[in-house]
Structure 1
Amino acid sequence: MTIDEIYRNDELSVRSYNVCKYNELNSVNDLHQYFLKHKSFNKLRNCGRRSNDEIIEIYKKYKYSVEIVESNEIKPLKLENVIGELSRVQREVVNSFILVNVGALSVRSKNGIARYLDDNFKINNWCSKIFMNDNFILRNIENIGAKSIEELDFFINSIKDFIYEVSSLKDEKQILTLKNKYLIQKTFSTSDIPSEILEADSIFQLTDFLLINNLLFNYNQTKIVQMSFKFYLDSQMHSIENVALELDLSRERVRQIRKESVNELFQKLTFIKNFNDDLLKNYSLDVSEKIIRIKDDTVERVNLRSNTNFSKEFISCILSVYLNDEFDLVGNIEDLLQTKLFTSRNRHNWNNFYIIHKDLKNVDFVSLSNDISSRLNDRIEETYSFSFKSYLSKFITDSEELIEHIDSLLPIAETIINEEFNLYLDIDDNIVFKKNTSKQAYEYAFEALEILGVASKVEDIKAKILEIYPHYETDEAKVRVSMKRKDGFVPVGRASVFGLKKWESELNDFKGGTIRSITNEFLEKFDEPKHISEIAEYVLKFRPDTNEKSIYYNLRMEESSSFIFFKKSYVGLNNKEYSEEFEVLQESDKRDRNSWEDRYQDLLEFLDLENRLPFSANVPDEEIGLYRWLNVQKGKIKSKKLSSEKEQLVNGVFEKFPQINGRRRINSEEKYNELLNFIELHKRLPSANREDEYKLYQFFYNQRKLHNMNELDKNEKKYFMKVASFF
């Protein structure tokens, strides 16, 4: 061992190195000869007390690399003798050193030496094929050029030097520390490694050190995984928006880095496989089992011994990497480690990770869990069961042997269904799927309407339900959302009044729907338009509380323009062609409404019809006119130009119908309550493909866009997260 090599290994200070070089002490042999003669180095020029102590320590450390013969001639110990006397742990250290450094070679050098050694890099093979082989010449290795010869020559000498260094250490703890230090330094290019990390040999303590010091990932990646993944027991899971704001990155860039980090996590953690953590002794984990379960007491033991604060999920990930040669990890990272707003609809959402032996790799536990999840989420009208062994055999692929030994698989599969679904086999080892349907919400409303016997308001239907079933928990929103046409209900107008579809065929004076739908049905029967008085006569049979004028105004306000209006108060359908004798009513023919009282009356009819204030865009011209007229009145009130009587009437309108954010065009709190009741009833979000759910779907779609743009107010955010919590 030369003084230069010792200095390059950071084992000698600059001052002590200069002392040795100045006094021509260039190797351990030189140190040995000088020490035998003088018993210290303090007589050397420029050598102080500290340098003397340091050089003596170096001499003592490496004096085993030379042997002393009677003639006082110093000869290097033969390498093969040194290798032959290495302990098992020392050999492991040398083998680790070789493997790590082989990875640092250039591709050409690595391929050349790998072919020569038949891909066997263990120290015994090096000894027989290189160190003890008198015929070994580097340049004779196939495809090795001048640059590779220089690189491999340095590499081979570094292995020799390292063998001498390791052989000089007799304390196993020192050897372990050296191994850990070298592995970490060479892999992560860091020399600032606490002694407790080097000496502990704990894969958890090491992982924590690598994470905290940005050695597994760069700074941004580390921050993102720490804010987005459940690595620690006290992890605060942040949304992409919050992470992006914290790091001053775009949401898309954060999403990309998070995805990359998940993909790289397990590959980066493979480094811990170089360490030797005694799982049974340190954490009471028996790796002889076919399934390793990480329970709360295991988490406590791991964190206490390693001085960490890891979550159960992350401990499972670390162990699965450490045991990857024999075990696989079953479970979904997105479900268990990542920030997640919504659950997946088409697969099982996992509650735990499971570390399962590779002997069971032909058992598809994921498909088994997906199938059970699908069964439990379906409506089960009657309880049913079947043999769990037979059921489990359907998820065993390409292995007759496993099916023959299915009895040994049963406890493992049973563990998963117990913890994931809270399902337990019966005494005959049957898996039981219990009836999950009770009386549906709409059935309560149907029964209440049958008893009431007439179309009724939601509040009256709810009251009747509670009268019949006083312990049933419901409210008006839940009752309203349960009454769908497909379940036999029909709305009557737009005032939250409902009846039963069957009444339309049973009663002469009952018809569901709105005034517009009744009018549409009436006009479909004729090939010519009808006077409003004829239309009113038909409509009044079913809606006796209205009048001809209100019906005409109602039709004029129709947004989809289903109706066409002719002079002399005739009305037809836009999808029909009529005789030219009926002259279409033009904009200029409309009655000029200059009377304040007429416009106020039109406003009252609109409010009664729509139950909201008029909008200013994407609505019929009549509604826009009412919107403008109402705004003019607001201006007159501010400027004190409206009489106190009229001001009182206008203010009464605003008190009854508070203004809502025009851009959203809905009362978000009311719609959120409707959405929450829908989700509670159907266990899913509304669908865009179902006509009766489309408006609710569109509402949540718009709210999600506003959430992504961070434009929801405080109350809306509270409701949005309440919806998200369902999934």
Structure 2
Amino acid sequence: MEVQEKYNKELIFKIQSLTVEQNFLLNKLIEKKLRKLSLRTYHALIEYLNNNITITNFNERIFSHKNFSYYDIKNVGVKSVKELTGFQTEILKLTDMISVHKSEQELYYEYFLLYLKEYYNIQSNHFAEISSFYNKTEKILLFKTLQILLDNDYIFVSKKKTIFKNYCNNNTNNSNKIKDLAEFVYLTRTRIRQLRKQLYGKFSVYFEILKHIDKKQIYFYDIDLNQTYITIDNILVEKINKKENVNFNLLFISNVLSVLSENTHSYIGKEKQKGLYNNGIKYEWEKKYLIVIKLTNIFDFTLIVEDVAKRLKERINKTYWFDFNKYVLSFYKSKKITNINVISEICKKILFSEFMLVIDSKNIILFEQNTFKKLPEYIEELLERERRPMNVYEMFDIFNKQIPKLFKSVGAIRSTCQRQRVNNIICFGRTSTYALKELVKTDINIKSGTIRDIVEEYLLQFDEPKHLFEIEKHIIRYRPNTNALSIMQNLRFDKSKRFVLFKNSHIGLNCKMNYYNNVLNFPRHTRKEFLK
């Protein structure tokens, strides 16, 4: 049958008068219809149209030619002509239908209904039910439509339907436990986990309809795709369920919204699957997030959350912190650092949503001790905060004000410090004064140990005895309250016999007597000073 017989000037005028939106939707419908042709007919038509499958090209190459015949197309026979004639009739019907609707909302709704008919072969009563929602609200109730499709076996059947609905419904009763579900569908728990992973792994395939929804429909749920960061939480879930009278959970709704926004946003917060068929997700997300693709291409939001979760889960024996901006840099996917301020702000919001973790005004991320604090740790914290040697009486007064009954007595603090002397705390003589070891390394005017220890350390530097006044000058630097007489008396009563006392107040070390014997070669008046 030749096209000339079907030629209609009014139809051509309609095609030429189509708006941009009408053209776009009609082309999508034509492309879907085209794929239903036989392989031979499909390739013949594609070749003839130079791979340009649009209503405009159909009009220019076929409809506008009065003497056109499908027999003129290469590799087209009798069966193909019959097929192409039917295809043309469908295009004409679609053109008539699309040309009637002018508003963008109506156009997308008609496209949506056509897709339901074509893809799901939906029954008239279900089709009427879906249509009635639009007539009442003038909006596509997406989740209500999905519920009808799920309930009436258009997407899943039999056991798959039961398993999927069990995990997508917002239901928390005991019947949802995997053990009960396994008994209900007569499958092992392992098999259920496997099927569940497959169902959610191919979510966008099973719910192909979502790819044919006008993306502007997402604004109906108060979601603005112009934002770089969108949170999907239980508040939004409750709002959607109430608005459309459905009962879906966070997992299902977030998956739906992620498919709707897949061209602009990435889905952050995929579900952690347990058991043999785990998917490598290490953290059980509290909420789900849509983040603009431009940022997810350069930064790993999942990894930073998993790292924080791991740190918080571990035993933290001592509080520690990081500069947040430097911490964020370690999760960039490349060495090129861009959009650091935007990414940092998004990370702060996510960490607060997931862990109630607040980044302070100094931009510090703090990981606080989560174990029971021992008594030595309280002392170490106090000494670190004060950054100076402290007497046990002074420490006891501070603890008594801040944490009453932490230490029962001064003796308790003293004994605790004595036990820690090997590790982090050092002692200053017999005055019950203590400080952190690291303080000695940083402050040149602080030295631990007794006066005898300091004198011994000083004398080890020399090969001859030193006068008491020289020793006093060195000791006063670290022990300002002592004097020469006190030092001499202290050394005189040393039972370890480390020191040798010479005439004229010279002091040496017993371990260096071999060196001191060399003084016998000195002049008499000098030698006399060093003799006992």
Q: Work out whether the TM-score is over 0.5.
A: yes
Q: Is it true that 1:372 corresponds to 2:311 in the alignment? A: no
Please point out which of 184, 203, 206 is paired with 1:265.
Answer: 203
Q: How far apart are 1:289 and its partner, in Å?
A: 0.7
Give the secondary-structure state (helix, strand or coil) at the position aligned to 1:105: coil
What do the CA deviations read for 1:418-476 (whole angstroms, capped 9, x no partner)? 12222211112121111222258xxxxxxxxxxxxxxxxxxxxxxxxxxx99xxxxxxx
- The CA distance in 1 between the partners of 2:39 and 2:134, in whole Å, is 30
Equivalence for 1:386: 322
What do the CA deviations read for 1:685-710 (whole angstroms, capped 9, x no partner)? xxxxxxxxxxxxxxxxxxxxxxxxxx
Q: How far apart are 1:90 and its partner, in Å?
A: 3.7
Equivalence for 2:116: 184
Q: Is it true that 1:332 corresponds to 2:265 in the alignment? A: no
- The CA distance in 2 between the partners of 1:107 and 1:398, in whole Å, is 45
Structure 1's 82 and 346: CA in aligned 2 closer, same or farther, altered over 3 A? closer
Q: Is it true that 1:213 corresponds to 2:152 in the alignment? A: yes
Q: Is it true that 1:351 corresponds to 2:286 in the alignment? A: yes
Equivalence for 2:182: 244
- The CA distance in 1 between the partners of 2:38 and 2:110, in whole Å, is 25
Structure 1's 103 and 304: CA in aligned 2 closer, same or farther, altered over 3 A? farther
Q: Is it true that 1:404 corresponds to 2:343 in the alignment? A: no
CA RMSD of aligned residues (A): 3.7
Q: How far apart are 1:145 and its partner, in Å?
A: 6.2
- The CA distance in 1 between the partners of 2:215 and 2:76, in whole Å, is 39
Q: How far apart are 1:222 and its partner, in Å?
A: 1.1
The answer on whether the counterparts of 1:294 and 1:316 sit within 8 Å (CA) in structure 2 is yes
- The CA distance in 1 between the partners of 2:197 and 2:334, in whole Å, is 33
Give the secondary-structure state (helix, strand or coil) at the position aligned to 1:293: strand
Equivalence for 2:231: 293
The answer on whether the counterparts of 1:270 and 1:322 sit within 8 Å (CA) in structure 2 is no
- The CA distance in 2 between the partners of 1:234 and 1:244, in whole Å, is 17
- The CA distance in 2 between the partners of 1:210 and 1:183, in whole Å, is 13
Structure 1's 197 and 260: CA in aligned 2 closer, same or farther, altered over 3 A? farther
Q: How far apart are 1:82 and its partner, in Å?
A: 0.8
Structure 1's 348 and 167: CA in aligned 2 closer, same or farther, altered over 3 A? closer
- The CA distance in 2 between the partners of 1:138 and 1:419, in whole Å, is 63
User: Which protein, 1 or 2, shows the higher relative CO under an 8 Å CA cutoff with sep ≥ 6?
Assistant: 2
Equivalence for 2:83: 151
User: Structure 1 regions of 5+ residues with no counterpart?
Assistant: 1-65, 67-74, 441-467, 470-727
Structure 1's 301 and 121: CA in aligned 2 closer, same or farther, altered over 3 A? farther
Residues 128-147 of structure 1 correspond to what in structure 2 (within 5 A)?
Answer: 128-132=60-64, 138=70, 147=79
Residues 36-435 of structure 1 correspond to what in structure 2 (within 5 A)?
Answer: 76-114=8-46, 116-117=48-49, 119-132=51-64, 138=70, 147-168=79-100, 177-192=109-124, 193=127, 194=129, 195-197=131-133, 199=135, 200-227=139-166, 229-232=167-170, 238-251=176-189, 253-276=191-214, 278-279=216-217, 281-334=219-272, 347-360=282-295, 361-398=297-334, 400=336, 403-435=337-369
- The CA distance in 1 between the partners of 2:279 and 2:33, in whole Å, is 45
What do the CA deviations read for 1:168-190 (whole angstroms, capped 9, x no partner)? 55787765554332210110112
The one-letter code sitting in structure 2 at the alignment partner of 1:388 is F
- The CA distance in 1 between the partners of 2:46 and 2:243, in whole Å, is 40
Q: How far apart are 1:159 and its partner, in Å?
A: 0.6
- The CA distance in 2 between the partners of 1:77 and 1:304, in whole Å, is 50
Q: How far apart are 1:243 and its partner, in Å?
A: 2.0
- The CA distance in 2 between the partners of 1:247 and 1:352, in whole Å, is 30
TM-score (norm 2): 0.60
Give the secondary-structure state (helix, strand or coil) at the position aligned to 2:365: strand
- The CA distance in 2 between the partners of 1:280 and 1:254, in whole Å, is 32
- The CA distance in 2 between the partners of 1:177 and 1:346, in whole Å, is 38
The one-letter code sitting in structure 2 at the alignment partner of 1:164 is D
The answer on whether the counterparts of 2:229 and 2:291 sit within 8 Å (CA) in structure 1 is yes
Q: How far apart are 1:294 and its partner, in Å?
A: 2.0
Structure 1's 144 and 241: CA in aligned 2 closer, same or farther, altered over 3 A? farther
Structure 1's 182 and 321: CA in aligned 2 closer, same or farther, altered over 3 A? same
The answer on whether the counterparts of 1:364 and 1:396 sit within 8 Å (CA) in structure 2 is yes
The answer on whether the counterparts of 2:270 and 2:281 sit within 8 Å (CA) in structure 1 is no
The answer on whether the counterparts of 1:364 and 1:395 sit within 8 Å (CA) in structure 2 is yes
Structure 1's 405 and 277: CA in aligned 2 closer, same or farther, altered over 3 A? closer
Q: How far apart are 1:407 and its partner, in Å?
A: 0.8
Give the secondary-structure state (helix, strand or coil) at the position aligned to 1:310: coil
The one-letter code sitting in structure 2 at the alignment partner of 1:298 is L
Equivalence for 1:436: 370
TM-score (norm 1): 0.45
Q: How far apart are 1:334 and its partner, in Å?
A: 3.5
Structure 1's 152 and 232: CA in aligned 2 closer, same or farther, altered over 3 A? farther
- Indicate the percent of aligned positions where both proteins have the same amino acid: 26
Structure 1's 174 and 102: CA in aligned 2 closer, same or farther, altered over 3 A? same
Q: How far apart are 1:133 and its partner, in Å?
A: 5.7
Give the secondary-structure state (helix, strand or coil) at the position aligned to 1:423: coil
Structure 1's 111 and 308: CA in aligned 2 closer, same or farther, altered over 3 A? farther
Structure 1's 209 and 163: CA in aligned 2 closer, same or farther, altered over 3 A? same
Structure 1's 424 and 203: CA in aligned 2 closer, same or farther, altered over 3 A? same
Give the secondary-structure state (helix, strand or coil) at the position aligned to 1:355: strand
Q: How many residues align?
A: 365
What do the CA deviations read for 1:285-324 (whole angstroms, capped 9, x no partner)? 1110111112444334322332222223322111101111
- The CA distance in 2 between the partners of 1:353 and 1:346, in whole Å, is 13
The answer on whether the counterparts of 1:93 and 1:179 sit within 8 Å (CA) in structure 2 is yes
- The CA distance in 2 between the partners of 1:123 and 1:358, in whole Å, is 33
- The CA distance in 2 between the partners of 1:291 and 1:332, in whole Å, is 16
The one-letter code sitting in structure 2 at the alignment partner of 1:394 is S
Give the secondary-structure state (helix, strand or coil) at the position aligned to 2:232: coil
Structure 1's 305 and 123: CA in aligned 2 closer, same or farther, altered over 3 A? farther
The answer on whether the counterparts of 1:384 and 1:433 sit within 8 Å (CA) in structure 2 is yes
The answer on whether the counterparts of 2:225 and 2:264 sit within 8 Å (CA) in structure 1 is no
Q: How far apart are 1:255 and its partner, in Å?
A: 4.1
Give the secondary-structure state (helix, strand or coil) at the position aligned to 2:345: helix
The answer on whether the counterparts of 2:272 and 2:279 sit within 8 Å (CA) in structure 1 is no
The one-letter code sitting in structure 2 at the alignment partner of 1:301 is K
- The CA distance in 1 between the partners of 2:67 and 2:321, in whole Å, is 74
- The CA distance in 1 between the partners of 2:312 and 2:96, in whole Å, is 65
- The CA distance in 2 between the partners of 1:260 and 1:237, in whole Å, is 22
- The CA distance in 2 between the partners of 1:354 and 1:131, in whole Å, is 49
The answer on whether the counterparts of 2:358 and 2:365 sit within 8 Å (CA) in structure 1 is yes
Structure 1's 349 and 281: CA in aligned 2 closer, same or farther, altered over 3 A? closer
